[in-house]
Amino acid sequence: MMLANLAELACYLPGLIRRRLQNIGTDGRLEAAKETFPAAILFADLSGFTALTEYLTHTNPAGTEELTQILDLYFGHLVRIVTVHGGDVIKFSGDGLIALWYGDEPLPVLTRRAIQCGLAIQMMMSPAVWSTEVIDEAARRLRARVGIGAGDVTLMHLGGIYDRWELLIVGDAVRAAGAAEAAAPPGEVALTADAWELAQPWCEAVPLSDNHWRLTALLDDVPLRAFTTPIIDQEQIEFLRSYVPKAILSRIDAGQSAWLAEQRYVTVLFAHLGDLNASTPLPAAQAAVRALQTCLYRYEGSINRLGIDNKGPTLLAAFGLPPFAHEDDALRGVLAAHDIVNTLSNLGFSCTIGLTSGPALCSSVGGLERREYTMMGSVVNRAARLMQAARQQQVPLLCDGETAAACRERITFNALPPLHLRGISDPVTVFQPVLNITDDTNRQLISKARYNHAFVGRTSEMALLLDRLDRLQRGQSGGVMISGEAGIGKSHLVQEFLNQARAQNTVILSATARAIDRSPYHIIRSGLLELLNDVRLAVLSEDIYHISRQLWPTNLTTIANPTASPDQGYAGRVHDGLIAVLSKAAEHAPLMIAIEDVQWLDEPTWSLLINLLEQPVPILLIVTGRPPLNQTEEQRRFLYHPLVDHIKLQGLSPPEIHDLIAHALDVHQVDEAIWRMIADQTQGHPFFSLELAKALRDAGLLMRQHQICRFVPGATKTALQMVRLPATVQGLITSRFDQLTLDQQLTLKAASIIGAEFDPATLAAIHPSGLSESQLTGQLFALQQAGLIVLERFEPHLQYAFRPAAIAEAIYNLMSFAQRRQLHARLAAYLEQHTGHDPLRAITIAHHWQAAGETLRAKPFLEQAGELALRTGDYASAIDLLSKAHQIGIDEEESVIGRRERLLAEAYYGQGRLAESYRLLQSAFRHLGYPLPVRRRRLIWSLFIEVIQQILILLGIPKRELPVGKNAVEIARAAHLLVQIDYYQHDPLTMLYRLLFTLNLAEAARLPAIQARSYASMEIALSRLPMLARLYRRKAMSLAKRLSDPSTMAWVAQMQGMAALIRSEWRQAQAALQFGMSIAQQTGETRRWIECRALLAMVQLRLGNVTDVMAGISEIAARSERSRDHQVQVWSRLSAAEFYLANGDVAAAVSEWQAASNLFTDANRISRADQIWHTVLAARIALMSGETRQAHELAVQALQQINGAPPLALYLIRSYRALLTMPLSPKQRWMARLIRWQVGLLFPLALREDSDRRG
């Protein structure tokens, strides 16, 4: 380790510890110690920080990181002020700290120094200073409370388990200073009675409650004398490391201090240790702290801080901190808390604990001179408040709802009334675990109820196991090693197999090894007791009891360390005794030994298993474990034994995932969109699949319809983005991640930025350590062996992938937002340099610039990606990308804004959101310098001008220049879209004006694509003038063929099909529309395909092809779901209602009409045409049901919706005709005839009396 690392480590320790280390020689060792000395004590705390934590963590994804930045700023100032005033920062405590003034000066002088420091802190926290530096507006209201005390302070150096030492500061003066801080108003300094007595000649104060004093003035000051940090020699570094958390040590050792911060899902244990005080004898205090360490380390928990508040000492510990994450950290927390309460009680100490689970940012806070590793987040505050509530209610342990939910299948909880906790706005649900664990056998029983989901798949694996069982019944020994990653289904397979083995009267010894207890033969002891329940082995009960007593924990130290006892043969006698007992059991009945999680198995047990295989009696060994399983000699001997078969479990097939999910959600069937998505996301991983399905359900994204599980409307494409990775999955992946080296961890973090798939070249380009591709090769191979990534392909270059993809998300979630931004920026710059010209990579580059916080650099790529999505018919993505670009505020030319608004309008039109599309188009025309006429009189005059202009063009008279300048192309495209909207929204006059305007502009600006589309539209507009209509049809076809533009050809085909439909030329219409559909399918124009298909259904209805009509409606509905086209979803329902109504099935029509009504939640998203259609259908249903009055009211409502300006949508022709059959007054009937006549001026089909009969 370099000397620089010594300085990094030293800043995590107070001067008191460094002073102690100075007094220990290089050949000495750390021991428990206790010293008492006079000192002044300062407690500082941020008032309002708990409420700010709740606010930021619930309103901002980066809330915990902002809190850490706020604390860094706060503690940085605080540490400098304390140090300058001669204080030693002893402990940080969440949002506060404890500092001491001690040494050779008299206590009154030390107290005055502390008081001066307290005043300086309040000056630093004044609004004039603090509010100019904090990050979040809400943090500017934070104020410091300071408490000052003086008197004897007792320090204890305690612990030593695994060379981990803790510093405890206690004493009446310390507790009194904490109480003074609690009594101080925000922004004030409060003194204890003793401190006030010592400093009274030099201060002014007013009394507070409980004999505290609020400082009002400092009459005289003491010259500043900064605290001098004791210097530690390099030789003492190992002593120093004993006080520093392991998470910090490993990062500094690896040179990765910048990567210390991680987002972790943790279980937080906050304990109050009120009986541990200054009068506690050192041996008793040492026993208590070692007991705490033992209980926590047994479950691989971490002590974060041994602190103190105004009620006494406290312990802050956590499960899930690096490098000890587990998928069952909540369970470990509950068990450890139970053990702590019981163990301390046996030692004569009381203890109350609060236990919570949730996300936290694990990082260091403070200044360069003094820092501390801590956890930041609401989960810590809640644990502290539950600890206080437990103390008030005089109960040993309280848990929050998340902790209880995480281990409810293994532990019983009593629900208590919700509590209102200080600083937390909402009531907190509280639970109390019901535990009565006296030995490891009962502890094993906790984990039995895990397999409440169906057993699916694994046919070949089960066949192999049953074959080995059959051989056992015939007297043959053997073994099967089942390997696979956590959650892949090893335990479920074994339990299902054991159930079948029990049915065949097999004697079974089963157990599960655990990382928290690796004492020799531990699992054999728990399994032996299971044999006592088998009546066939009653004659062996004495032998079993005898060997079990030898395996009790008090005797296991001899086996683990034979040199500790003069009886060198004890371990051998236990080994031989187990062989003898198990061999005798196998002589009475076929014996199977099943051991799960053998990666935690001790070496003596591995040796025992190998020897059992070589016994003359038949024994079948079934073991399961996570790779790698060839780390020791004994493991390799077992794995490569000739009698051992191997099963390596992989993910389930997609159909098996369907069955698994269906059983878990208690349905008969799951929609393919759901199970396919889950199977793709999890690569068939059973546990991940189940948890993801439950997360989708709990997020309200799934619904049940007639025993079928479906996505709720609109959730199909966004489901994965709307649900976070379940904590159980995050914990399972993090536990595997923590087993890697820190260099491998950093490589995976960088790879997760790239995505679920990555290549070595890109990874090398962004790697924080600057590793080359060749240097990464060894790491990537090791990560493959660990089962976290796979080599996806070799050509054209190496491509790796996280499998399942959830691994990438889990590792990405571990990084702080600052770390993510740094790597995203590197990746975006690299991609921009190497692939910035490729429009297919635009969305990726935009994503990474956005994630890096560089929105201005993201903007051009957002626009590029949005245009690409629009061209390929992905309207939802186009709206998202273009809207994001539109919201990035920079100075732009009006024409640039107008163009983007036109593109957004097209995307909204593609989703059937016509009102939003029209609003954007109006804005686009303004930005493009050509606002639309809105008044009716001006519209008529504008139409007259456009008609004259088009006549002149047809006559070959030179075209006049239109006043649109350089924006002609964009205005023409916007006008063309406006014509399409007018078809559903506006009257014939408006539509005709805008069509002619578009055509004339396209002619003048020589825009052939818009010309061809407008010619095709003119054929429809001139249906009453066949010669002119044919002229425009020929012009459209000729120009479209010359252009060779598929999109234009699809539009022309649709318009020609529509024109043929209007002329009642059904076969021609059918051919043209089918041609348009085929082109739209190839180009990805979803909206074009849907419109062609809807028109084709109208043709098929008139041809009498009922089956084809219903098939068309179903196809349209399916496409609308995928594209999230709200208008088309309405069409599909109303079309079905109209079809059923025409066939006299009123009940079915009502059902479909009601389904359409459910989509009318936002009137702004429903076109005028669809509102009219919906209302007229309701009137027709009422009339056919004999509800004449209601039919009249609905018909009148439809006339009001039309308001003399009927939209030209073809599907309304039947509705306009139906209005004439309604019970209306003569005036109203005349209005209905006028409406039909207006439409008939353009569409001859509307005036054919027999159109309904022929349909």
Name 322's Cβ contacts closer than 8 Å, sequence gap at least 6. 247, 250, 262, 264, 362, 738
Gap between the Cα atoms of 377 and 746, Å rounded = 24
Q: Give the amino acid at 1172.
A: I
Residue 566: pLDDT band (50, 70, 90) is very low
Residue 196, pLDDT score: 95
CB crowding 592-626: b at 16 or more within 10 Å, else e:
bbbbbbbbbbbebbbbbbbebbeeebbbbbbbbbb
Closest CA to 975 of 940, 1010, 934: 1010
Helix axes 875-887, 894-910, angle to 10 degrees: 150
Q: What is the CATH number of domain 32-215?
A: 3.30.70.1230
pLDDT exceeds cutoff 70 at 453: no
By C-alpha distance, which of 455, 806, 487 is closest to 650?
A: 487
Summarize pLDDT for 808-835 with one digit per residue, the tens: 888 998 888 889 999 999 999 999 999 8
Burial-class residue 1047 by CB neighbours within 10 Å (0-12, 13-18, 19+): middle
For residue 876, is pLDDT > 70?
A: yes
Q: Does domain 654-723 have CATH number 3.40.50?
A: no
Could you state, in order of their start, the residue ranges of all structural domains in the chain? 32-215, 260-412+422-442, 458-648, 654-723, 744-920, 1125-1255
For residue 212, give Cα distances in angstroms to 182, 191, 195, 268, 299: 10, 6, 9, 33, 43
pLDDT at 1027 over 60: yes
In 3D space, the residue among 894, 898, 868, 893 whose CA is nearest the CA of residue 881 turns out to be: 868
Mean pLDDT of 66-75: 76
Q: Look at residue 263 and tell me whether its pLDDT is greater than 90.
A: no
pLDDT classification of 136: cutoffs 50, 70, 90: low
What is the sign of the dihedral through the CA atoms of 1027, 1029, 1032 and 1037? negative
User: For 178-231, what is each residue's pLDDT tens digit?
Assistant: 999 999 998 899 999 999 999 999 999 999 988 999 999 989 889 999 998 887
pLDDT in tens, 330-341: 999 999 999 999
- pLDDT top residue among 880 and 27: 880
Burial of 175 from C-beta contacts in 10 A (0-12 / 13-18 / 19+): buried
Burial class (CB in 10 A: 0-12, 13-18, 19+), 116: buried
Over residues 499-508, the mean pLDDT reads 87
* Of the candidate ranges 566-570, 1045-1049, 1097-1101, the one whose mean pLDDT is the lowest: 566-570
- State the pLDDT at residue 205: 92
The H or E element spanning position 163 is: none
Task: Choose the weakest-confidence range: 164-173, 516-525, 669-678, 1016-1025.
Answer: 516-525
* 1216 pLDDT above the threshold of 80: yes
Amino acid 747 reads T
Q: Is the pLDDT of residue 139 over 70?
A: no
Provide the token pair at 1124.
Answer: 């999230």
**Three-class SS string for 897-956?**
HHHHHHHHHHHHHHCCCHHHHHHHHHHHHHHCCCCCCCCHHHHHHHHHHHHHHHHHHHCC
Q: Which helix (H) or strand (E) holds 805?
A: none
Q: What's the Cα-to-Cα distance from 1046 to each of 662, 871, 1161, rounded to whole Å?
A: 44, 12, 36
CB atoms within 10 A of CB 500: 13
Return the HEC string of 1079-1111: HHHHHCCHHHHHHHHHHHHHHHHHCCCHHHHHH
| Interval 82-102 mean pLDDT | 91
C-alpha Rg value of the chain to the nearest Å? 39
Q: Return the ∠ at Cα 984 (arms to 979 and 988), rounded to 5°.
A: 65
CATH of domain 260-412+422-442: 3.30.70.1230
Highest mean pLDDT among 18-22, 905-909, 1125-1129: 905-909
Residues for the chain: how many in total? 1255
CATH number belonging to the domain at 1125-1255, selected among 1.20.5, 1.25.40, 2.60.120, 1.10.3720:
1.25.40
Give the CATH fold of the 458-648 domain: Rossmann fold (3.40.50)
Pairing outcome for strands 371-376 and 352-366? antiparallel
Q: Tokens at residue 689, please? A: 């699949």
Q: Which residues contact 140 (CB under 8 A, 6 or more apart)?
A: 127, 130, 131, 134
- Label the pairing between strands 397-400 and 352-366: parallel
Residue keyed to tokens 């994630």: 851
Amino acid identity for residue 600 in this structure: W
One-letter amino acid at 44 equals A
Residue 970, token pair as written in the block? 């964009």
Q: What is the mean pLDDT of the chain?
A: 85
Which pLDDT does position 557 carry in this prediction? 39
pLDDT at residue 984 in the model: 85
Surface-to-core class of residue 460, CB atoms within 10 Å of its CB (0-12 exposed, 13-18 middle, 19+ buried): exposed
**Listed range (626-635, 646-655, 959-968, 1111-1120) with the worst mean pLDDT:** 959-968
Predicted pLDDT of residue 24: 75
32-215 with 260-412+422-442: one CATH topology? yes
Tokens found for residue 550: 């030898």
